[in-house]
């Protein structure tokens, strides 16, 4: 019976995504290819001093991305440091330097790693004027970069790849804001709170007291999901009944996380003039998603491990209204996108179950990945897959009519090296440097044994891939982890963006070569299989050793 | 100053102005708009789905509560919620799971202890106790228990309150919510609502 309901739930998710995917994908293609500005946009461009009709080279585009993100970090840092004097702060003090640094980077990089417990750290002013704003703009930056890469494939012999300020503005005003408004209202109807009431003290039925929190939660929850951000208004994130009150809001939140990432391949197909190419990318993403979801669900419902066996099933860290399947579906969605929201505590998953969110992130978050970042990550892997296929048959690799020469392959190869390097170096440094190891093992790690290693590995995997979920027992609000994870998030976001935009520039400058009989078709099942294989094998080769030290060791002992 | 550094400097000025506008629109105006709509159209939900027993607000239908004495001992005359890792238990200002790992000895000890306590208070054999009764939820504020756990407590409630099993059973049946739309999530029992009904029955 449970399997039956699980399949029904997946079926309705698939149905909703199928219904959304075409219109939303086409709408996004329209947004990013349209020539006309809305009146409100024209006013905005005048205020910020941008000529919306001018285009940028990849270098200029990149400079704008970096300038905008740096300013975002500085403003968010300042807002946190000034919390004590801002209105609606619930009397909470200024946030310390190290934590402000980590949090500012975390939200600007679309990671939303939280080294802090928001319930007792962040007042309303920081939440809405600082964090929620970055939830919008960091998401729009990710989509903009993906669109710039798609233009690289679509254009021929052009020196420019679009205008960052226009892409950013349109992404926010035409896409994220209207959908956030709609879905925030839906979430309120489901019970998500939206007020400025502060804490309401009530006398409980047995005469005790309970301090019920308030806050503008629905407005933040909507964009947290839609922009694959994931930073919770409350410590318990989307398991908190005020963020995710019912099983149906749970499904709504899952749809929100997947809506844009699963529709972007359609946008890509439209923009390169061949929707079959977008469909192939979508098929790769969906295949990985289904396999990963099945694995996590099997592990969690197997009830393996000492705690699950003692209790009768793996319900530690799960909510009754979601049950096991509502939790595994959410966890898979959250870690295969770059959201990182949780509706169950991954730290308490069965050992092999806890490995799955980690693996999902290690895949590079490409199935379907974060808004924008998922598409550009998958397109990089497609470039690698075409290259490997080219090696096998001894032909110059080409993708969508673009020749993949040494420069393109170097950029793609560097891309897939960036995050594993950060993850493995960060984890290794945490245990190899004596002073740091003492701090990590005595202060940061919550669970003893190999599970403690998994907590640190999870943290660096999550930070470098800009996910933001955690094996949340870890105490990350320490000088080492605040700094190291902050740097990991920064490099994990912007090094890939540099490489992607450089690739976009070099592709846009090329002419398109016509397909011949010898060209590898990149829309057929053969290529879909190849791309799934490349994605999985690269991850497996990179991470297998460290996985055996953590979750595999715990799960197989 | 070279042209490049001038353009680069200009980018920061553009970025700063853009962020100021975005903060005003996306941070302040958007939040106020949603708050306005919520407060006007859906005030009960927007303000936390508060529930009353008689005239007094006794909590939120969405936030679980402890039904224990001041020392944290379970009060046998009330349906018990799940264990909670939020503060000292159901501290709504400090939501949290235990984050104990699947092999953590502290978790195993806690499960054993909870099992023994329930087996004694409810007079049932330990292998009949459902998993949610001995595990802490993700939020620490789970307002629900499984219908199985509610069922398990019927006998104890009836005995301690001097009610008939049928009366208590009826309350549990009324409080049992099926899956959302018939197929989403799991069937649940809202403990606070159930206990309010119980209090009214007892008069």
DSSP string spanning A105-161? HHHHTT----SS-HHHH--HHIIIIIIIHHHHHHHHHHHHHHHHHHHHHH-SS-S--
Q: Flag if A451 and B103 touch (Cβ within 8 Å).
A: yes
Contact A270, A331 (CB under 8 A): no
Contact A189, A248 (CB under 8 A): no
The answer to whether residue A316 neighbours chain B at the CB level (below 8 Å) is: yes
The answer to whether residue B141 neighbours chain A at the CB level (below 8 Å) is: yes
- pLDDT score of B5: 58
| Chain B environment of A219 (Cβ under 8 Å) | 30-31, 34-35
Q: Which domain holds residue A163?
A: 1-273
Task: Let me know if residue A493 belongs to a domain.
Answer: yes
Residue ranges of A 149-168 with Cβ closer than 8 A to chain B = 165, 168
Task: Let me know if residue A299 belongs to a domain.
Answer: no
- pLDDT score of A158: 96
pLDDT in tens, B102-119: 999 999 999 999 999 999
Q: How many domains does chain A have?
A: 2
Confidence of residue B1 (pLDDT cuts 50, 70, 90): very low
Residue A473 CA: distances (Å) to CA of A115, A138, A430, A446, B126: 11, 27, 16, 5, 29
Q: Are B161 and B198 found together in one domain?
A: yes
Q: List, in order, residues 6 or more apart from A236 with CB less than 8 Å away.
A: A243, B86, B95, B96, B97, B138, B139, B140, B141
Contact A331, A244 (CB under 8 A): no
Whole-angstrom distance, CA of residue A450 vs CA of residue A195: 43
Closest residue, chain B, to A237 (C-alpha):
B139
| Chain A environment of B103 (Cβ under 8 Å) | 305-307, 351, 449, 451, 554
Task: Let me know if residue A105 belongs to a domain.
Answer: yes
Q: How many domains does chain B have?
A: 2
Closest residue, chain A, to B178 (C-alpha):
A321
Q: Which domain holds residue B13?
A: 3-44
Residue B120 Cα, gap to closest chain A Cα (Å): 17
The answer to whether residue B62 neighbours chain A at the CB level (below 8 Å) is: yes
Q: Are B137 and B173 found together in one domain?
A: yes
Residue ranges of B 148-177 with Cβ closer than 8 A to chain A = none
Residue B165 Cα, gap to closest chain A Cα (Å): 22
Q: Are B29 and B92 found together in one domain?
A: no
Q: Are B31 and B61 found together in one domain?
A: no
Pick among B138, B150, B194 to test the A interface (most A CBs inside 10 A): B138
Q: Are A95 and A239 found together in one domain?
A: yes
Q: Which long-range contacts (CB under 8 A, 24 or more apart) does B23-27 make?
A: B23/A75, B23/A129, B23/A133, B25/A177, B26/A132, B26/A133, B26/A136, B26/A137, B26/A172, B26/A177, B27/A128, B27/A129, B27/A130, B27/A132, B27/A133
List the one residue out of A289, A446, A255 whose CA is nearest residue A367: A289
List the one residue out of A251, A354, A366, A250 whose CA is nearest residue A295: A354
Residue ranges of A 426-485 with Cβ closer than 8 A to chain B = 446-449, 451, 454, 471-473
The answer to whether residue B108 neighbours chain A at the CB level (below 8 Å) is: yes
**ipTM given for this complex:** 0.96
Whole-angstrom distance, CA of residue A351 vs CA of residue A360: 15
Q: Are B68 and B115 found together in one domain?
A: yes
Whole-angstrom distance, CA of residue A283 vs CA of residue A297: 21
Task: Point out which residues pair with B53 in neighbouring strands.
Answer: B56
> Going residue by residue through chain A (557 aa), what tens digit of pLDDT does each one get?
589 999 999 999 999 999 999 999 999 999 999 999 999 999 999 999 999 999 999 999 999 999 999 999 999 999 999 999 999 999 999 999 999 999 999 999 999 999 999 989 999 999 999 999 999 999 999 999 999 999 999 999 999 999 999 999 999 999 999 999 999 999 999 999 999 999 999 999 999 999 999 999 999 999 999 999 999 999 999 999 999 999 999 999 999 999 999 999 999 999 999 999 999 999 999 999 999 999 999 999 999 999 999 999 999 999 999 999 999 999 999 999 999 999 999 999 999 999 999 999 999 999 999 999 999 999 999 999 999 999 988 888 999 999 999 999 999 999 999 999 999 999 999 999 999 999 999 999 999 999 999 999 999 999 999 999 999 999 999 999 999 999 999 999 999 999 999 999 999 999 999 988 888 999 999 999 999 999 999 998 999 999 999 999 999 97
Element (H or E) spanning B35, and its range? helix B30-41
Confidence of residue B7 (pLDDT cuts 50, 70, 90): low
- Reply yes or no on whether the pLDDT at B203 is more than 80: no
pTM beyond 0.90: the answer is yes
Task: Let me know if residue A357 belongs to a domain.
Answer: no
Pairing status of strand B144-145 against strand B50-53: unpaired
Q: Are B34 and B95 found together in one domain?
A: no
- Reply yes or no on whether the pLDDT at B164 is more than 80: yes
Q: Flag if A317 and B75 touch (Cβ within 8 Å).
A: no
- ∠ at Cα A157 (A151, A159), nearest 5°? 70
Confidence of residue B9 (pLDDT cuts 50, 70, 90): confident
Q: What is the CA radius of gyration of chain A?
A: 23
């Amino acid at each position: 019976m449970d399997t039956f309901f699980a399949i029904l739930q997946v079926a309705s998710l698939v149905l909703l995504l199928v219904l959304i995917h075409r219109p939303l994908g086409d709408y996004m293609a329209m947004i990013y290819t349209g020539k006309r500005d809305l009146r409100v946009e024209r006013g905005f461009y005048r205020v910020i001093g941008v000529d919306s009709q001018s285009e940028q080279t990849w270098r200029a585009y990149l400079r704008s991305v970096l300038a905008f993100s740096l300013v975002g970090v500085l403003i968010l840092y300042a807002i946190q440091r000034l919390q004590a004097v801002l209105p609606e702060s619930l009397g909470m003090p200024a946030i310390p330097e190290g934590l402000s640094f980590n949090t500012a980077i975390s939200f600007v990089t679309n990671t939303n790693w939280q080294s802090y417990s928001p319930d007792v750290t962040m007042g309303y002013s920081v939440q809405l004027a600082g964090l929620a704003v970055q939830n919008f703009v960091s998401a729009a930056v990710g989509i903009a970069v993906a669109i710039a890469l798609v233009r690289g494939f679509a254009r021929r012999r052009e020196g420019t790849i679009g205008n960052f300020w226009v892409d950013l503005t349109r992404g926010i005003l035409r896409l994220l804001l209207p959908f956030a408004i709609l879905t925030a209202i839906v979430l309120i109807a489901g019970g998500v709170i939206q007020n400025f009431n502060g804490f309401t003290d009530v006398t409980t039925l047995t005469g005790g007291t309970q301090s019920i929190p308030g806050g503008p939660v629905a407005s933040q929850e909507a964009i947290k999901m839609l922009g694959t951000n994931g930073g919770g208004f409350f410590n318990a994130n989307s398991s908190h009944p005020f963020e995710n009150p019912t099983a149906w809001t749970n499904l709504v939140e899952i749809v929100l996380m997947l809506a844009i990432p699963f529709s972007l391949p359609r946008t890509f197909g439209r923009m390169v003039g061949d929707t079959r190419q977008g469909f192939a990318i979508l098929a790769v993403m969906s295949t990985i998603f289904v396999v990963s979801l099945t694995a996590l669900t099997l592990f969690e419902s197997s009830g393996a491990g000492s705690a699950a066996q003692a209790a009768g099933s793996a319900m530690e860290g799960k909510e009754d209204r979601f049950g096991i399947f509502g939790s595994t579906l959410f966890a898979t969605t959250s870690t295969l996108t770059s959201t990182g929201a949780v509706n169950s505590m991954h730290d308490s998953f069965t050992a092999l179950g806890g490995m799955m969110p980690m693996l999902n992130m290690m895949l590079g978050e490409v199935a379907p990945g974060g808004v924008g970042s998922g598409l550009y990550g998958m397109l990089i892997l497609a470039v690698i897959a075409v290259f490997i296929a080219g090696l096998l048959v001894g032909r110059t690799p080409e993708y969508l009519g673009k020749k993949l020469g040494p420069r393109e392959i170097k950029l793609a190869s560097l891309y897939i090296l960036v995050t594993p390097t950060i993850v493995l170096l960060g984890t290794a440094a945490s245990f190899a440097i004596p002073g740091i190891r003492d701090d990590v093992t005595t202060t940061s790690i919550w669970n003893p044994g190999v599970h403690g290693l998994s907590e640190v590995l999870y943290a660096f995997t999550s930070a470098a891939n800009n996910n933001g979920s955690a094996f949340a027992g870890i105490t990350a609000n320490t000088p080492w982890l605040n700094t190291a994870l902050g740097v990991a998030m920064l490099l994990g976001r912007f090094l890939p963006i540099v490489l992607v935009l450089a690739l976009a520039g070099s592709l846009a400058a090329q002419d398109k070569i016509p397909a011949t009989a010898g060209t590898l078709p990149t829309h057929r099942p053969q290529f879909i299989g190849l791309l799934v294989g490349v994605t999985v094998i690269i991850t497996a080769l990179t991470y297998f050793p460290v996985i055996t030290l953590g979750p595999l060791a715990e799960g197989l002992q | 100053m070279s042209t490049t550094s001038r353009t680069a400097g200009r980018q920061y000025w553009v970025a700063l102005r853009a962020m100021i506008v975005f903060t005003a629109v996306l941070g302040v105006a958007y939040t106020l708009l949603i708050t306005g709509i919520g407060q006007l159209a859906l005030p009960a939900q927007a303000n936390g789905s508060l529930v009353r027993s008689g005239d007094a607000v006794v909590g939120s239908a969405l936030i679980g509560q402890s039904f224990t004495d001041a020392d944290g001992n379970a009060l046998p005359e009330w349906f018990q919620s799940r264990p909670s890792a939020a503060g000292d238990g159901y501290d709504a200002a400090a939501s949290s799971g235990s984050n104990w790992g699947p092999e953590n000895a502290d978790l195993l000890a806690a499960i054993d202890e909870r099992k023994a306590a329930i087996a004694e208070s409810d007079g049932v054999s330990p292998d009949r106790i459902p998993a949610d009764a001995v595990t802490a939820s993700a939020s620490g504020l789970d307002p629900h228990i499984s219908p199985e756990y509610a069922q398990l407590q019927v006998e104890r409630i009836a005995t301690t309150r001097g009610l008939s099993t049928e009366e208590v059973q009826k309350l549990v049946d009324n409080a049992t919510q099926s899956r959302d739309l018939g197929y989403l999530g799991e069937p649940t029992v809202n403990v606070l609502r159930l206990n309010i009904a119980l209090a009214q029955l007892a008069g």
